[in-house]
Amino acid sequence: MFLEDTIAAIATPPGEGGIGIVRLSGPEAVQIAEKIFKPRKATFPLKSHRLHLGWVQGPQEGEIIDEVLLTVMRAPRTFTREDVVEINCHGGIVPLRRVLEATISLGARLAEPGEFTRRAFLKGRLDLAQAEGLLQVIRAKTGEGLQAALGQLEGTLSRRVREIRQEILLLLARLEAAIDFPEEEDVDEVTGRQVKAQGAGILEKVRALAEGARRGKIYRDGVETVIIGRPNVGKSSLLNALLREERAIVTEVAGTTRDQLEEYVNLAGIPLKIVDTAGIRKTRNRVEIIGVERARNLAQRGDLVIFILNAAEGIAREDREIASILQGKQVVVLLNKIDLGENIPEAEVRRLLPGAEAPIIRASLINQQGLEELELAISQLVFQGQVEGSRADFLASLRQIQALERASASLLDMLAGPLEDPDLLSIDLKAAYAALGEITGETVEDDLLDKIFAEFCIGK
Ligand SMILES: Nc1nc2c(ncn2[C@@H]2O[C@H](COP(=O)(O)OP(=O)(O)OP(=O)(O)O)[C@@H](O)[C@H]2O)c(=O)[nH]1
Ligand SMILES: [Mg+2]
């Protein structure tokens, strides 16, 4: 990682689009841009924080690569706190590549994944918790996830962590004074008692923060679980059973649920965003048609699908239709209403969903039967990584939670330590201080940084 050089990358996703952006950052960024850019009206030096219309020129005399809008942003009011240039080209692979190549040929280096953000971090523009928040903003899958991520990007978590670290620092100063100037006989014990009392208060705050982080994780990492099945099989009954409350209306009328319902359930520590849908069947009712269409789309989008069949009635035509839209999805099959009879052998379910190793669970939701097995099957699927989509995010926030937990443990050690030994108290406090510093990146190893920033895409 050389901070002195100038990096360049295509910042927009690969493929065709209206526009695409090549981004440069570093001491040579403006110089390189001015060499390849032929402005329509603007004159050099290009004004900062303005958009300039013009052309990017190729290496041959008179060669034009693309018509572009170019922005020069001089340090320090930029994302990386370095000189930044953004070139808005037409969003095709060829113009973007050629503009990028033009910058490289003039001495820019191809950026590593996340290197722009890493520079922002190293220059103090963002701390580590905020950088991770930024990644979560890009990856947010739900509105709630976006809100939580934006809060983190703004520095909600960082601020609280810094406040707590400040308090620990004050306590440490006090202990140092007691160690350096032990004037009276009992001063250590008095200091020790005061430090412990305040340490207990700090521990409470760290714990509250860890609790909040765990809750935030629900929004960030929610495994979207869609309940699907034909009308009346017990989809809403399952939502209610998992929530342990009468959230959805359940009636014997087929077609009760018209619109989808979404709720979060914490299942063995795994956050599930459960979506109840309208039963899938051919229908003439307009409202129901829309609901059925949504259910199909949701099933496609979900990380996990719980497919409910009526065990007593056997496999119906609609069930086959539903099965056909579940190809390639992670599915759990729930054979419900076994209290009324069991007319679906496992082999038939396997034929219905060829290729899938879907767990099959027998249940009678009306009698709360089969729920434990279902929860076990889901947690196994998620923990074994068979449910895609949320694992990388899970790791990022896990890092923060683990740091909070280590800080708690050190504070607990401190509280259990002998009163009259300020040295020991201070060791534990320092450990808590360091653990909290990892969240914002104040105390962090390079290889951990590598790991975190490698999760970003190139150009971010
Ligand atoms: N006998 C029996 N009835 C059940 C069972 N589970 C649910 N039911 C009943 O089946 C009916 C339909 O249940 P819902 O949960 O509303 O079914 P749904 O799939 O949401 O139906 P739609 O809203 O039409 O999509 C209700 O009367 C439930 O009480 C079960 O295990 N056994
Ligand atoms: Mg329903």
Q: In this predicted model, what pLDDT tens digit does every residue of 282-333 receive, in sequence order?
A: 777 766 667 677 777 888 888 889 999 999 999 998 898 888 888 888 899 9
C-beta separation of 222 from 146 below 8 A: no
User: How high is the pLDDT of residue 75?
Assistant: 95
For residue 318, report the distance from its CA to the centre of ligand 2, in Å: 16
pTM beyond 0.85, yes or no: no
- Above 80 in pLDDT, residue 267? no
Q: Which atom in ligand 1 lies closest to the alpha carbon of residue 238? A: 15
| One domain for residues 231 and 375 | yes
Q: Which of 32-41, 126-135, 257-266, 409-418 has the highest mean pLDDT?
A: 32-41
Would residue 398 count as lying in a domain?
yes
Mutate to test the pocket of ligand 1, among 319, 335, 366 (most ligand atoms within 8 A of CB): 366
Query: For residue 88, what are the β-bridge partners?
Result: 21, 69
Domain shared by 274 and 365, yes or no: yes
Residue 34 lies in a domain: yes
Residue-level pLDDT at 411: 96
Asked if residue 54 has pLDDT above 90, the reply is yes
Q: Count the domains in the chain.
A: 3
Q: What is the pLDDT of residue 220?
A: 62
pLDDT of residue 390: 35
- Looking at residue 394, its pLDDT comes to 32
Host domain of residue 47: 7-126
For residues 122 and 135, membership in a common domain is answered with: no
Sorted by sequence, the CB contacts under 8 Å of residue 209 that are 6+ apart come out as 157, 160, 161, 164, 404
What confidence score (pLDDT) does residue 288 get? 65
User: Which candidate, 237, 245, 248, 242, places its Cα nearest to that of 266?
Assistant: 242
pLDDT higher than threshold 50 for residue 395: no
CA 389 to ligand 1 centroid distance, Å: 30
Residues 370 and 437 in one domain: no
Look at residue 455 and tell me if it is in a domain: no
**Residue to substitute in 238, 249, 256, 282 for testing ligand 1 pocket (most ligand atoms within 8 angstroms of CB):** 256
The closest ligand to the CA of 295 turns out to be 1
pLDDT at 237 over 90: yes
Q: Is residue 307 part of a domain?
A: yes
User: Is the same domain home to 424 and 349?
Assistant: no
- Asked if 336 and 357 sit in the same domain, the reply is yes
- Residues 213, 135 share a domain: yes
Residues 242 and 340 in one domain: yes
Pick from 57, 56, 54, 2: which is nearest to 27 by CA? 2
Pocket of ligand 1 (CB under 6 A): 229, 231-237, 250-252, 254-257, 278-279, 336-337, 339-340, 364-366
Taking only the tens place, the pLDDT of each residue in 359-375 is 999 999 999 999 999 99
pLDDT cut 90: percent of the chain above it: 50
> For the domain that residue 357 is a member of, what is the CATH number?
3.40.50.300
Which amino acid is present at 185? E
Map tokens 């958009």 to a residue: 51
- How many CA within 13 A on the CB side of residue 45? 9
Q: Which pLDDT score is estimated for 164?
A: 95
Does 286 lie in the same domain as 375?
yes
Same domain flag for 242 and 158: no
Same domain, 166 and 134: yes
Which of 447-451's residues contact partners 24+ apart within 8 Å by CB, and which partners? 449/118, 449/121, 449/128
Residues 246, 372, single domain; the answer is: yes
